[in-house]
Amino acid sequence: MKFPAHVLTVLLLAPLLSFSAAAADQVRDYPLAKIAAHTYVIHGPLGYPSPENQGFMNNPGFVITKDSVVVIDPGASLQVGRMLLKQIRTVTKLPVTHVFNTHVHGDHWLGNQAIREAFPGVKLMGHPEMIKKIKEGEGQVWVNMMNDLTKGYTKGTRSVPPETATPDRSDIKIGGMTFRVHAPEKAHSHTDIMIEAVEESVVFAGDNVLNQTIARMVDGTFRGNIAACDRIAAIKAKHYVPGHGPTGDVSVVTNYRNYLATVFDDVKQQYELGKSDFEMKDGIVAKLEFFQGWDRFDIEVGKHISQAVLEIEAAM
């Protein structure tokens, strides 16, 4: 079939035009959920970064204090950070003065760039190990990975890391509110902080807790992650914001803890019986019926069993 020249030109240029317009701008809007009196979350879609989700798949949150806005995890790219800022402006005119980054995985913090662009004086905060790892080059690894996985959608995104280290159990007072830092050791990533907005009774758990989806465990430990879940469940907060998936009550934490503990305890038991990881899989999957429909379950569960074996061997 032969197209007339002008139709051909349109056909050839259309993908280019839509691509360049999208890449320079910001990700499409997702609904803003008010989860407590002054706390909001934009729940990103589940899945891995892709051209379809424009690299957006975490849960950026913010708390409006008396004087300013405190952001937790502004997302995977400059473009996600801009979408977050646009949504913040729909509910307040106050400036963003502080950002907490829950850990080094780029889907949670590369949006720092957009916040710094709009508010040059903003204080960016994270775990000291996160700051160190980014200095050693991990930030650029994530910038490149996001760009590749989204086929260039996140182009223009740069690594703008946190500069201020947040010690474990510190209380940071901002605009009359208390942000309590919980920095568990060797949990999801060895760079984790969880942020408790005390007066709001909200805990931002980072990827130590996921809901309806399963985390990659390559940078963490089962024991540490289970302990992190126990620590924040003991707070008995009203609301828990997972790193990915819907916000909920403490059952969001205990469910995820159950997943990790079921895998780890069962692997340990069967390892002691001399079984290898591929022999363990069917029995363990059968015990995880509650989680079988969760996003990434089929991809991650086998890897988790192998990682649990390695962790058990390393501790011997």
Q: Which residues bind Zn ion (CB under 5 A)?
A: 105, 207
Q: What is the DSSP letter of 207?
A: G
Q: What is the DSSP letter of 270?
A: H
* Shortest distance in whole angstroms from residue 48 CB to Zn ion: 12
Spell out where 101-201 has E strands. 123-126, 164-165, 171-174, 177-182, 194-197
Tell me the pairing of strands 69-72 and 61-64: antiparallel
Give the nearer residue to Zn ion in terms of CB position, either 105 or 133.
Answer: 105
* Shortest distance in whole angstroms from residue 49 CB to Zn ion: 12
* Shortest distance in whole angstroms from residue 216 CB to Zn ion: 7
* Shortest distance in whole angstroms from residue 107 CB to Zn ion: 7
Give the nearer residue to Zn ion in terms of CB position, either 65 or 112.
Answer: 112
Give the nearer residue to Zn ion in terms of CB position, either 43 or 105.
Answer: 105
Give the nearer residue to Zn ion in terms of CB position, either 46 or 94.
Answer: 46
Give the nearer residue to Zn ion in terms of CB position, either 65 or 206.
Answer: 206
* Shortest distance in whole angstroms from residue 175 CB to Zn ion: 28
* Shortest distance in whole angstroms from residue 232 CB to Zn ion: 16
CB contact at 8 A, 154 and 79: yes
**Burial status of residue 186 (CB atoms within 10 A of its CB: 0-12, 13-18, 19 or more):** middle
Give the nearer residue to Zn ion in terms of CB position, either 105 or 127.
Answer: 105
CA distance 244 to 187: 16
All residues at 6 or more sequence positions from 202 whose CB lies less than 8 Å from its CB, including other chains: 35, 36, 39, 63, 196, 237, 238, 239, 240, 241
10 Å Cβ neighbour count for 120?
7
